[in-house]
Amino acid sequence: MKLLVIGFGQCGSNIADSFARINSRAKARRRIEIATGVFAVNTDLADLSGLAHIKSDYRHRILIGGRKSGGHGVGKINELGAEIAREDADKVIDAIRATPRFFESDAFLLVAGAAGGTGSGSISIMTQVLKERYIDKPIYNLIVLPFEHEERTEERTIYNSATCLKSASAVADAIFLVDNQRYVKKNATLRTNLAGINHLIVEPFYNLLCAGEEKKPKFVGARLLDAGDIIQSIAGWSVIGYGQSQIPPFRLPFRSSRNFRDKSTEIHRGIEAMDAAVSELSFKCNPADASRALYLVSAPSKEMNLTVIKELGEYLKSLTPEAIIRNGDYPRNSGALDVSIILSELRDVEKVRRYYLEAAQVVSAIQERQKDIDIKLKEIDEISKDVPSLLQ
C-alpha cells in the first residue's frame, strides 16, 4: 500500500518526517516504495527547519500563513490555524499535483497533534479540501493526543483536542488515535522521549505497507494483505499496534524439526507477539468494541504455518468477537516474528467522550471568567472618569 503523507504543525510534521525515514529504509533494504510523497505543513519556519528526512525544498516543507503568523506559529489558537489552512490550501494542492507518482497513491494520511494550534486547526480543513478534489482516494487522519500533564495544566489543550477530534471525525474516512502518554519513558530526556515516541507511532505501519508492494515471489505471502484488504478494514475510530517475539538463531542439533516441543514453541511465540501488539496499541480501548480488525504476521517462511495463523486468528477473535477479521502473512523478517494489528470502527472511545464533556465545561468557565474581567474593567473605568487624561 502506498500512502501520500502530510504532516501539519510541529507534531504532525515530525511524525511525517518519520514516515519519510521508513520509506527510505524500505527503498534501501527492500527496494520498495511505500510513500509516494511526504510533506510537512506549518506556520512556524523554525519547526520546518528542524526536520531531517523530508526534502528541504519549498514544495515539501510548506510554510502557510506567513502574513498572519510572521513565520512564528499561531500560539495554540486552532481557530487561527483553521483560517490559515482555508486561505492557503492551494499551496498544499499545488505541491501534491507536482508529485511525479501521486496517482499511484492508494490513500492519503494526514497527521497532526490534537492539542496544538496549526495542526489541530488545519487537519480537518485540509481533509475536507482533499476529499472534495480526490473523491476516489480514502483520506485517513492520524491524530496524536496530548500528555496528561498538558491536559492538567493547559485548558486550551482540552478545548483544542475536542474541537480537532469532532471536526476530523466529520470528514475523515478513518482516524488513527495515538495517545502520547502510552509511550512515555519517565527518565529519558524530552528530545529522546519525543524521538522515541515518533518512532513507535510509525513503526507499526512499516510491514503493513510493505507487504502489498513486494515484487520478489519469495517474499509475497501465501495470504497477501494488499491495499484493498487494508482499505476495507479501516473506518471510523481506529488504533494500531505492533509486537515482536525473537526467534532463536539455531535449533539443537539432536532435535528433530518435527519435535512436539518446537511446535508448541512456534504457537507460543506467535501468541507472545500478538499479546505485545495488543498491549502496545496506540490508544487504550476495549478490543471488543471493534467492528473490524486486521493482523499481519511477518517472519521467516519456515516459522509460519497454518497452525500458527489459525491460533492467532482464534485468539484475536476471542478479543474482538463482533469484528470482521482480515489477515495476511509476510515472509520477510529474519530473527523475529512480528505481528501488526489494526482495530477499527470502535463503537466506544471513552477518552474522546471525556474530551467533549470537559471542553464544554472549559468553554463555560472561560465565558464566566471573561464576564468577571469585563465587570472589573468597567469598575476601574467608572472610578477613573473624573481623572484628567493627557491624550488630546
Same domain flag for 143 and 289: no
Range of the domain at 43: 3-202
Domain count, the chain: 2
Q: Which of 27-31, 193-197, 230-234, 242-246 has the lowest mean pLDDT?
A: 193-197
366 pLDDT higher than 60: yes
Residue 167's domain is classified under what CATH number?
3.40.50.1440
Asked whether residue 197 is domain-assigned, the answer is yes
pLDDT single digits (tens) 276-327: 999 989 999 999 999 999 999 998 888 888 888 888 999 999 999 999 999 9
What size, in residues, is the chain? 392
Of 202, 223, 251, the position where a domain reaches its end is: 202
- pLDDT at residue 270 in the model: 87
> Where are the extended beta strands (E) located within the chain?
3-8, 35-42, 61-63, 107-113, 139-145, 174-179, 236-246, 292-298, 324-330, 336-344
> Residues 185, 265: one domain?
no
**312 and 267 housed in the same domain:** yes
User: What is the pLDDT, as a whole number, of residue 252?
Assistant: 44
Query: Per-residue confidence at 255, pLDDT binned at 50, 70, 90?
Result: very low
Q: Do residues 175 and 282 share a domain?
A: no
User: pLDDT tens across 18-69, in order?
Assistant: 999 999 999 999 999 999 999 999 999 998 998 999 999 999 999 998 878 8
pLDDT band at 253 (very low <50, low <70, confident <90, very high): very low
In a domain, 209, yes or no: no
Q: Clarify whether residues 44 and 188 are in a common domain.
A: yes
The last residue of one of the domains, among 202, 220, 253, is 202
Are 128 and 271 contained in the same domain? no
Report residue 190 as a C-alpha cell.
Answer: 524530552
Last residue in a domain, options 157, 182, 202? 202
- Kindly tell me if the per-residue pLDDT of 246 is higher than 90: no
Is residue 116 in a domain?
yes
How many other C-beta atoms can be found within 10 angstroms of the C-beta atom of residue 138?
18
Residues 248 and 112 in one domain: no
Cβ(197)–Cβ(183) below 8 Å: yes
